[in-house]
């Protein structure tokens, strides 16, 4: 393990004390309805062993590695006398001898060997966490946590990532597909840096920008009386059974609003979570649906242009207001904002 400078250990402890969070905290949120698993954290109160001992762990490990205070002090860049006092104070605090003294050399006691094993693991965890955080903020090779709608996963998002990585080939992405409200909850939880969603959200704690709009089509079975048409008014489907996404999905809200504008409330026969599943239900003759165009034509259905009301969904990018961006997140955000009107493949 590459030795850590004493100040690096102190800085890590200061970060933990001020933020109240460990350097690396795994989150496990399936969606907006799933609670995060409890994460065990260190007690950093005034009488905490972790707070008292952490600044001296790297010092102890260096002395144990060299079995010589002078050589360890040289490695750490500190006076020998200061290091000697720190080791004595560490042993006094623990109430156990960690080293046996043999003139100018030292050797670990059984208690010292046991303590060193735990110390090396703790220092390695701090080193890994520090390197992970620094890597995630590297402007050329950092990480972006990016959320998007399921309906954008087959064509739109892959095209965006390909175009962005042409100029930023080392930036890594953590990709999350979900429905709009779930992604907003993950933004608030800190799990996402930004997300593509629809409708464009309007919340005081978020910043959202409209990027594009996507036409919605009335999808009917290919043997339906309307299937021979190319265009249709939505009111002509007032008597049909609809298959829709579940309540809470943006496309469901848009469907309900468009039907209301057309003068009717849709009779919902089936609710699902995936647009392509709904398309399959339509192909099976189980209803009709308002859906964005598919990436690949689906057999068994006809896709009709809706002439009235104007059937579109707005798509925007959202992020937390006031949240500082890492360089890779800022670069990707600028890239997305530069795609206004060109986000959706035509």
Q: Where are the domains of the chain?
A: 6-136, 143-213+314-337, 217-310
Residues 6+ apart with CB under 8 A from 345: 155, 156, 159
Q: What is the mean pLDDT of residues 156-160?
A: 95
Examine the pLDDT at 85 and tell me if it is beyond 50.
yes
Interval 229-259: pLDDT, tens: 999 999 999 999 999 999 989 999 999 999 9
* Per-residue pLDDT at 49 exceeds 70: no
Position 39 confidence tier, pLDDT thresholds 50, 70, 90 = very low
Residue percentage of the chain with pLDDT more than 70: 83
Query: How far apart are alpha carbons 259 and 237 in whole angstroms?
Result: 9
Q: What is the pLDDT of residues 109-124, one digit of tens each?
A: 999 999 999 888 888 8
Q: What b-and-e string marks burial along 127-163, b requiring 16 or more CB atoms within 10 Å of the CB?
A: bebbeeeeebeeeeebbbbbbbbbbbeeebbeebbee
- Indicate if the pLDDT at residue 275 is higher than 70: yes
The residue that leads in pLDDT, 218 or 44, is 218
What is the pLDDT at residue 52? 57
Number of helices (H), then strands (E), in the chain: 10, 13
Q: What is the pLDDT of residue 240?
A: 98
Average pLDDT of every residue of the chain: 84
Q: Which CATH class is domain 6-136?
A: mainly alpha
C-beta of residue 219 within 8 angstroms of C-beta of residue 291: yes
Q: What are the b/e assignments for 277-308, b being 16+ CB within 10 Å?
A: ebbbbbbeebbbbbbbbbeeebeebbbbebee
Q: Can you give the pLDDT at residue 138?
A: 74
- Of 27-41, 56-70, 124-138, 181-195, the one with minimum mean pLDDT is 27-41
Exposure class string for 240-275: b at 16+ Cβ within 10 A, else e: bebbbbeeebbbbbbbbebbeebeeebebebebeeb
At 180, list the tokens. Answer: 């709009």
What pLDDT is recorded for position 23? 28
pLDDT for 335 equals 97
153 compared with 138, residue with greater pLDDT:
153
Least confident range of 21-25, 223-227, 254-258, 294-298? 21-25
Mean pLDDT of 154-168: 94
The vertex-265 CA angle with 264 and 271, nearest 5°, equals 145
pLDDT of residue 346: 73
Of 169 and 34, the structure prediction assigns the larger pLDDT to: 169
- Report d(CA 104, CA 110) in Å as an integer: 20
Please tell me the distance from the alpha carbon of residue 157 to that of residue 153, in angstroms, as a whole number. Answer: 6
Task: Give pTM, 2 decimals.
Answer: 0.65
Q: For 97-104, what is the mean pLDDT? A: 88
Of 274, 220, 224, the closest CA to residue 242 belongs to 220
- The predicted pLDDT at position 54 comes to 67
Would you tell me which CATH number, out of the four given (3.40.190.10, 3.40.50.2000, 1.10.8.590, 2.70.70.10), belongs to the domain 143-213+314-337? 3.40.190.10
∠ CA 20-50-1, nearest 5°, is 100
pLDDT for the residue numbered 128: 74
List strand residue ranges (DSSP E) for 216-311, in order. Answer: 217-221, 231-233, 241-245, 267-272, 289-291, 301-308
Q: Closest Cα to residue 175, out of 148, 154, 137?
A: 148
What span, in angstroms and rounded, lies between the C-alpha atoms of 222 and 235?
A: 19
Alpha helices in the chain (DSSP H): 6-19, 49-66, 69-76, 80-94, 110-136, 156-165, 180-189, 250-261, 275-283, 327-337
Q: For the residues 194-208, what does the mean pLDDT come to?
A: 96
Highest CATH level, class, for 217-310: alpha beta
Do 317 and 196 meet the contact criterion of CB atoms below 8 Å apart? yes
Say yes or no: do domains 143-213+314-337 and 217-310 share a fold: yes
Q: What is the mean pLDDT of residues 39-54?
A: 52
Q: What is the pLDDT of residue 3?
A: 39
Looking at the DSSP assignment, which residues form a beta bridge with residue 320? 206
Q: What is the pLDDT of residue 53?
A: 65
Q: Residue 19: is its pLDDT beyond 90?
A: no
């Amino acid at each position: 393990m590459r030795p850590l400078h004493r100040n690096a250990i102190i800085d890590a402890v200061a970060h933990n004390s001020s933020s109240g969070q460990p350097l690396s905290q795994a989150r496990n949120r399936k969606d907006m309805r799933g609670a995060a698993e409890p994460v065990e954290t260190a007690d950093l109160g005034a009488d905490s062993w972790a707070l008292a001992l952490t600044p001296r762990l790297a010092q102890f490990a260096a002395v144990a590695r060299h079995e010589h205070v002078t050589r360890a002090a040289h490695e750490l860049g500190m006076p020998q006398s200061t290091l000697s006092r720190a080791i004595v104070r560490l042993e006094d605090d623990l109430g156990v001898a960690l080293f046996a003294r043999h003139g100018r050399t030292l050797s670990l006691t059984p208690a010292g060997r046991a303590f060193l094993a735990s110390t090396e693991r703790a220092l390695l965890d701090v080193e890994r966490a520090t390197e992970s955080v620094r890597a995630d903020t590297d402007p050329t090779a950092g990480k972006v946590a990016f959320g998007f709608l399921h309906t954008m996963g087959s064509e739109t998002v892959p095209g965006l990532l390909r175009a962005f990585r042409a100029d930023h080939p080392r930036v890594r992405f953590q990709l999350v597909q979900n429905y709009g409200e779930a992604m907003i909850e993950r933004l608030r939880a800190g799990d996402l840096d930004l997300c593509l969603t629809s409708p464009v959200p309007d919340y005081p704690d978020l910043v959202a920008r409209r990027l594009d709009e996507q036409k919605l089509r009335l999808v009917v079975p290919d043997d339906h009386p309307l299937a021979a048409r190319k265009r249709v008014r939505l009111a002509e489907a007032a008597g049909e059974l609809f298959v829709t996404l579940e309540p809470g999905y943006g496309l469901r809200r848009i469907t309900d609003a468009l039907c209301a504008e057309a003068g009717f409330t849709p009779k919902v026969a089936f609710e699902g979570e995936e647009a392509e599943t709904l398309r399959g239900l339509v192909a099976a003759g189980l209803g009709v649906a308002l859906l964005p165009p598919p990436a690949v034509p689906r057999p068994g259905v006809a896709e009709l242009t809706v002439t009235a009301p104007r059937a579109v969904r707005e798509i925007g990018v959202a992020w937390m207001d006031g949240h500082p961006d890492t360089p890779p997140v800022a670069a990707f955000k600028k890239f997305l904002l530069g795609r206004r009107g060109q986000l959706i493949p035509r």
